[in-house]
A and B are shown apart, each in its own frame.
Chain A
């Protein structure tokens, strides 16, 4: 005899989430196998935006590759620019002037703020609250204005150069940046009041997709996603580069304040707190920036000696690393790019098992992935 539950024929549903879906943050495709609303398995399918940047890197000179790094993580193009510059400088043994390093830190931290703003805004929009998104866009607009002053561009900057930056900061830039910081710092509290501790928002994120510290390390998570699990690892502190050792700032880690350590809420909160730390870094950098040249003398056609380097920097979406092999010619012999978002997607299938469909959106938002960096 069959019980009513057995007689009732049910089957799992295979749903295609993406590549055109409002909440996959780009052309990510997730194959969902669901039992009603509960996700049995979610397999991310990547590669829709593959442009072969690593291969292109082998066909253009070191200097020519700079604009391509803009297209790695377009929400944090300054960070990618500078990461490439630091990589090539280490490879060729070039040292950028101190003023250039300060400028790089300033634009990187500004871009970290604007990138985290988008992460915050799009995450809340994914959770159904559309208003904070436009608030974050309002603030990001002012960062874009600042970047426009430096290099004329608002999204893909191509500002860094091997040996420094393309142009000195224009007159009034530092004052304008200070103005922005004074305006922006109270806004973070406004965000917290508006949405961060909203009961519905906390309930949606707390205890969802918990990643323990060991798991995060084992899966190679970096950046805010790693720190959200309580691991205080920040390349700016642990493997200091540029002028970061001279600046005083905290490494923000998740605390499990509203749920379990390493849940979506912790990852979200790390980004909010990091914006505050970036403001702190910016204030110090503005106070200390020295006068001087902004570009070291680099030969127009330059051939680094045969060598290989791996340089990793702390980008808003985790560790961005360039592994460059030079064979002594003008072109790199091999270029490998390590992208934070790509590595983060490894753990996606594991943490989403047994969640609801709505949680998938929360997980993608809390990872703050960006597709051009994943697909490269």
Chain B
């Protein structure tokens, strides 16, 4: 952030007289605004794509009224949600009820800060990036539990309890499944993790193909992360057919929109983290994007990153419209009896591999033969 502000001051002499902290603050606000716009747009366009994908899978058309091919449907939905009456149940805990959606949204939105969109496109390259994402997304649990409790509705309470149990349980396998990428890069910074997957090995530089254990841990991560972000088949906290709508049943209007946006934000974060840690992040196969001039390199790497991440988001939607839902006890059994031991064994496997083969992956070994 400061580096960016410093280069801005150097590039534009006119603002040299302004106190340095103002420039930094300005850069911060602009970055946050850009990310917010991205998150909102993703939520909007994502909901349109989700509905179109659902329509396609379910032999129907999907939104097709607002704008060409219904593409403006999300704007209509957004306007509707903003204009709607804001209902707070009479017996709800007003303070917590009002606070909850913001906590949920912050928990998901704040994770955007460390997403490595491109060569130099990252809001804050924290040296504890992965850890930060794990920590900040935990805020979502607090918000959901708060929403469930404050609504003074038994279905919402059940949804909140389910969400808390589920998210806390699945954080462990998610964390352990992502650690192999951290071990290989030797850093928690997401930008470092992405850089460690470069090289001219093309797609084989990706952590996914580093060794059999990392290949496995990608799928473990993707499964566990779907559960952690309450996506079908793990969408128990908002199980429509059981809990009506779960923790957000009493919410309407803009507050509901925040839950909705947080859900899409979570989807993107899962996809982005999987891309960054296993699918080479913004690396273009057989091409060095970071060797290009800054502007073109950034644009190219941004495009590649988004294509990979959106691809994963599409896979999530596909899964969502295909599978039925697990039951609570089955969900917990899956986390504690299968995913936790598996991810742990996997982590051990990766560690041993790195120790035995001096950090080299299979592709590097094959490459060194020739």
Contacts and interface: CB of A to CB of B under 8 A. Distances in A.
Interface string A117-136: 00000001111111100110
Contacts of B326: 200, 203-204
B158 to A, nearest CB: 7
B321 A131 contact: yes
B314 interface: no
A15 B324 contact: no
A131 B328 contact: no
A138 interface: yes
Nearest to A208: B327
Interface string B304-347: 00000000000000000111111111100000000000000000
Interface stretch (B52-60, B193-201, B209-217): B52-60
Interface string A335-354: 00000000000000000000
Interface stretch (B10-18, B240-248, B356-364): B240-248
Contact of B327 (A15, A125, A138, A358): A358
Interface SS, A side: helix
A198 interface: yes
B154 A13 contact: yes
A356 B161 CA distance: 14
B154 A128 contact: no
A22 B244 contact: yes
A169 interface: no
Nearest to B328: A37
B244 A21 contact: yes
Interface in A170-215: 194-195, 198, 200-201, 203-204
A36 B235 CA distance: 18
A13 B156 CA distance: 13
A359 B59 contact: no
Contacts of B242: 23, 357-358, 361
Interface residues of A, number: 31
B337 to A, nearest CB: 14
B229 interface: no
A358 B239 contact: yes
A22 B245 CA distance: 10
Contacts of A37: 158, 162, 328-329
A125 B241 CA distance: 7
A357 B240 contact: no
Contact of A356 (B322, B323, B328): B328
Interface in B223-245: 232-233, 235-236, 239-244
A284 to B, nearest CB: 30
A131 B241 contact: no
A21 B155 CA distance: 11
A361 B322 contact: no
Contacts of A138: 59
Contacts of B321: 130-131
Interface of B: 54, 57-60, 154-155, 158, 161-162, 232-233, 235-236, 239-244, 321-330
Interface of A: 13, 15-16, 21-23, 36-37, 124-131, 134-135, 138, 194-195, 198, 200-201, 203-204, 356-359, 361
6 contacts: A15-B158, A128-B240, A128-B323, A198-B324, A356-B328, A357-B242
